Amino acid sequence: MDRQQAHHLLDRLGPEQFTAVAQLLKVLTAGPAPLLESLSGSPVEEEEITSETAADLDRALASLSRGDSISHEEILREFGLTR
């Protein structure tokens, strides 16, 4: 997509959609500095992993390595988010 196509798409947006896209573009062009600055002063939260959580993680990783994953499309269907 080139700039002309992007401008054409922007022209087709309604006011609310345009505002949302403009805010997203502002964030994307700001770069990582604002986020990094805000996170740098945040305390690091350390949560102990219980043996139960560790076992759950092990089961999940084993399931993924067997290929027992759910596709993105399947999840969208499950939540009624497909057209």
> Looking at the 3D structure of the chain, how many domains does it have?
1
Spell out, as residue ranges, where the chain has pLDDT lower than 50. none
In a domain, residue 34? The reply is yes
Is 12 among the domain residues? yes
Phi-psi category of 31—alpha, beta or left, where left has phi over 0 and alpha has psi -120 to 50?
left
Q: Is residue 70 part of a domain?
A: no
Predicted TM-score (pTM) of the model is 0.38
Phi, psi angles (nearest 5°) of residue 45: -95, 125
Task: Measure the CA–CA gap between 45 and 71, rounded to whole angstroms.
Answer: 31
What's residue 33's pLDDT? Answer: 74
Range of the domain at 14: 3-40
Residues 6+ apart with CB under 8 A from 22: none
Looking at residue 83, what is its pLDDT? Answer: 63
Domain membership flag for residue 7: yes
